[in-house]
Amino acid sequence: MGVYVVCAIKIYCQMANKLRSKDFKKLNIFSNTTISIAMSILNRYYKHNSKAEKLAVMKDVVEQPENFISDPILGHIAELLVDDPEEEKLETALDEYDKPLTSFGRPLIKSNAYQQMKTALKLPVVERAALMPDSHLGYGIPIGGVLATKDTVIPFAVGMDIGCRMSLTIYDVNDRYLKMHDHKFKQSLMNHTAFGLSKTIEYKQEHSFLDRDVFHATALLKTLKSKAARQLGSSGSGNHFVEWGMVELEEHGLEGITPGVYVGLLAHSGSRGFGASIARHYTDLAKEQSNLPSNMRHLAWLDLKEDAGKEYWMSMNLAGDFAIACHDQIHKNVARDLGLKPLAKIQNHHNFAWKEMIGGEEMIVHRKGATPAHKGELGIIPGSMTDPGFIVKGLGNEQSLNSASHGAGRKHSRKETAHRFTNSEMRKHLKQNRIHLIGGSIDESPFAYKKLEQVMSFQRELVKPIGKFHPRIVRMNRR
């Protein structure tokens, strides 16, 4: 039997065993709310049962819901069948899914971010969650939030900037070399970086990412290839940056590199408008299919066994690869004229979803502003412009879903920072700390952020620092 026939049979069997809305309507259940919650419960707690067995269970509940009111699992469905559910009843039902939240650095996390994560925990598809010590209020879930689901992905829990990441290249020169050629290092950032919505690198670039056949896989991806080509090697606005600085490596830090001080190039950016277009499209698609209350609809999920979920997963991974390609070009372009020899490169996403084993089961781990920290995994946690960042090795703490903070985290919102501080105060502070800033604005000043040393003190069980990065020449978008 040919491989295509075998695959077709497998797909047919999977589709034949899948619960659909029409199956519930045959049981005289017509409320989309009840169907959605019943489907989630049956798929979660009866995943090893056949479709016929699941529907037989459902038939019993429909015929005598009062007999199941006290059932710890089916009682959620029975309660919905006793009366016609309104949105308020749905919210009550979702409250039953509320699960414990593991947080690290709770004293540093504002209540609005904590409550935002508690709301996300009401989703029936969420299995586990954690908050990192740099957490602060975000869109959908807090920045610094980590969610684990099964067989589902929540586009908004990945974020709009899919594949936002850190990358650090360490070069075989020291701090004296940086001081001697200060002008050249500044000029390299001026000539070879671009920030903001419509900014692009002005010369032609090549990267194998643009040659992929996957751009023909969906109608959306076909329209985005030209955007990817234009935006290659550029960076977004906000807190994105490219900066030269000093890397201080501890003993037994990086294999093959002698402990000491080196010049490093650190970049922070994501998948630009390419990833944002994917995020918007599939978030809207998930919301259209959702029966969640209006205040939670942005947390709608996609089933990874269905076409929309498969498309998003493929597109999300492509956006992550585009972010990598952009970082490749940033490092290549900026260092090209300086003739530097790279010794090592460390990089990690912090806005993404991965398939990982948690508690012996495969789950979809969403990290929105959180650094992967599996045992032995290298990562970068940057500070503000005047605070050194940390090169770390993960300790594989399952309570944090193998995660750590992705930075210091905001202490004040952009608006609040601009209201509290002035540009002259920021420039004076930067000068005192020997930082040369190209571009930038008051809302991204060091005053906006928590102290990274304090954040790190709350994640000693999550990561081990093996080095530091001290910024010296920073380029950001100017508002």
Bin 345: left if φ > 0, else alpha if -120 < ψ < 50, else beta.
beta
Give me the helices (H) in 364-462, please: 414-420, 423-432, 452-457
Cβ–Cβ < 8 Å for 474, 385: yes
Cβ–Cβ < 8 Å for 132, 405: yes
Split the chain (479 residues) into runs of 10 and give each run's mean pLDDT. Answer: 43 60 80 82 89 90 81 84 53 64 94 92 92 92 95 96 97 95 96 90 92 94 95 93 96 85 97 96 92 85 96 98 97 94 96 96 97 97 95 97 96 91 94 95 92 96 97 90
Domain 157-476 has CATH 3.40.50.300: no
Residue with tokens 């977004």, as numbered in its chain: 236
pLDDT score recorded for residue 14: 47
Residue 424's contacts (CB-CB under 8 Å, 6 or more residues apart) are: none
Q: Which long-range contacts (CB under 8 A, 24 or more apart) does 203-207 make?
A: 205/232, 205/233, 205/329, 205/333, 207/232, 207/325, 207/328, 207/329
pLDDT score recorded for residue 466: 96
Domain segments of the chain as ranges = 3-95, 157-476
Question: Whole-angstrom Cα distance, residue 350 to residue 372?
Answer: 7
Question: Whole-angstrom Cα distance, residue 457 to residue 469?
Answer: 17
CA distances from 454 to 134, 377, 443 (A): 10, 22, 21
Q: How many CA atoms lie within 13 A of 54 on its CB side?
A: 20
pLDDT score recorded for residue 225: 94
CA distances from 52 to 13, 17, 57, 158, 173 (A): 13, 8, 9, 35, 68
Strand locations in 298-383 (E): 302-303, 342-349, 351-358, 361-368, 370-372, 378-381
CB atoms within 10 A of CB 188: 23
pLDDT score recorded for residue 75: 85
